Structure 1
Amino acid sequence: MIEILMIEDDLELAEILVDYLDQYNIKVTNYESPELGISALRVKKYDLVILDLSLPEIDGIEVCKMIRAHNDIPIIISSARSNIGDKIACFSYGADDFLPKPYDTQELIFRIKSILRRCNLNITKKEEVQKRQVFIHDESRMEIRKEDELLNLTNAEYHILAYMIKRAGFVVSREELLSNVESIKYESSYKSIDVLIGRVRNKIEENSKKPKYILSIRGVGYKLVNE
């Protein structure tokens, strides 16, 4: 069942939508107060938000901005305010669709399913891309994993491999590494880069003499293969 959080102060309309959408296996939980709706999003996972703009306490555009700041849930704006300024503001703050009132409930169902289908497809694609990657870099934790195994790297090894992951598939020169890897002093020699690459290879390659992931490009530098 699709679960939707709705923030709508027109309680008569909300009741109609709750009953109607339930027939299509769509459960709607409505909150008249935007603050209660935002709080509900923090404690329960919903598939989509339907948001009115003319709300008590907080304007709907600001509510959209607040939701998007902490949640990537799809948002459909449902409002009688349909001037271009409101539409631009909503989309700029992260709304996925804008449905002017009054509207046909069948159109609402179509838009809900269309957005969820698109969002689920994007999630699937991201997961597939991530699964194909051998090395996963978690920048916030300063961790690099090889096929789910956490690599034990020194500070310099971490930063050089992190940069190589960012540039995966491209040839990276020693000069570029000296300029962009923060743990390496620019005054260091090309030889120090080669030593660091050798140390990283020892930790990620099955056979460092026949590397599979960090390839040497003669006369230029190195290339990381991350698949």
Structure 2
Amino acid sequence: MPRVVLVEDDPSVRDGVEMGLLRRGHDVLATATGEAGLEAVDTFRPDLLLLDLMLPGMDGVEVCRRVRARGQLPIIMLTARGDDVDIVVGLDAGADDYVVKPARTEVIEARIRAVLRGVEAPAGVRHLVEHHGGLAVDRAGHTVVRAGEPVALAPSELKLLLFLSAEPGRVFSRQDLLEEVWDHSYHSDVRLVDACVRRLRVKIEDRPDTPRYIQTQRGFGYRFGPL
């Protein structure tokens, strides 16, 4: 089972989530502050970070930025408000998904499985590098190279790029992408998609404001170019 670092300052929420995940076989290290969470990421070597958005001192957004600057550890943010602008800030900082509190353990575990799904290269698939202009995508090795330089992508960014680039030119709605990339139900938050697209464009586009690869089909969704 995945190793999880949990950062949550509310003792009742922290204890409840920790106990629920432990009962389901997860190895969990729970902390109460952003500073302790960063230290736990370094020492515990988790498979995933479950991070409260509102923390005393260093908040969850700053923790997310720092973790993402170090590497591509999957991050799920916890928030008490489902319509807060801070969610968008957290997603832009690099979170792969979020869960609104209070949430049942089975909901949190389902989000963990969805975020981690597809991180490992599928067995038996040959390494065949696809070239799209200056972008090289190794679908089996899950690596991306732009202009000869490796591109570090968070799990959600990589899965979005792999999904869109598998069918260049085809337009997918945001709801399509939520279902296929995030494994969310139809009535979910399209902010996940838009934030991930913004982050991905910064990493792979020469000019993110006039994207060549992740193109917007106004009124419909997104497609992969160049066409």
Pick the TM interval, shorter chain: 0.5 to 0.7
Tell me the alpha carbon deviations over residues 154-207 of structure 1, each in whole angstroms, 9 at most, x when there is no partner: xxxxxxxxxxxxxxxxxxxxxxxxxxxxxxxxxxxxxxxxxxxxxxxxxxxxxx
User: Which residue number in structure 2 is paired with residue 106 of structure 1?
Assistant: 106
- 1-structure distance, mates of 2:101, 2:33: 20
- Poorly superposed stretches of 4+, deviation over 2 Å: 81-84, 118-131
- 2-structure distance, mates of 1:88, 1:34: 19
Over the aligned positions, Cα root-mean-square deviation in angstroms equals: 2.7
User: Which residue number in structure 2 is paired with residue 117 of structure 1?
Assistant: 117
List aligned pairs for 1:87-98, cutoff 5 A: 87-98=87-98
Whether the 8 Å contact between 2:79 and 2:87 is mirrored in structure 1 is: no
TM-score by length of structure 1 reads 0.53
User: Which residue number in structure 1 is paired with residue 67 of structure 2?
Assistant: 67
Overall identity of the aligned pairs, in %: 30
TM-score by length of structure 2 reads 0.53
For structure 1, the 5+ residue unaligned runs are 132-136, 140-227
User: Which residue number in structure 2 is paired with residue 20 of structure 1?
Assistant: 20
Whether the 8 Å contact between 2:29 and 2:40 is mirrored in structure 1 is: no
Secondary structure of 2:90's match? helix
Task: Tell me by how many angstroms 1:130 deviates.
Answer: 8.0
User: Which residue number in structure 2 is paired with residue 147 of structure 1?
Assistant: none
**What is the identity, as a one-letter code, of the residue corresponding to 1:108?**
I
- 2-structure distance, mates of 1:129, 1:116: 16
List aligned pairs for 1:170-189, cutoff 5 A: none
Q: Go from structure 1 to structure 2 and tell me whether the alpha carbon gap of 1:32 and 1:130 turns closer, same or farther (over 3 Å shift).
A: closer
Secondary structure of 1:65's match? helix
**What is the identity, as a one-letter code, of the residue corresponding to 2:50?**
I
Which has the higher Rg, Structure 1 or Structure 2? 1
For structure 2, the 5+ residue unaligned runs are 128-137, 151-227
Tell me the alpha carbon deviations over residues 111-157 of structure 1, each in whole angstroms, 9 at most, x when there is no partner: 111111132348998584489xxxxx888xxxxxxxxxxxxxxxxxx
Whether the 8 Å contact between 1:64 and 1:93 is mirrored in structure 2 is: yes
Whether the 8 Å contact between 2:9 and 2:55 is mirrored in structure 1 is: yes
**What is the identity, as a one-letter code, of the residue corresponding to 1:10?**
D
- 2-structure distance, mates of 1:102, 1:119: 27
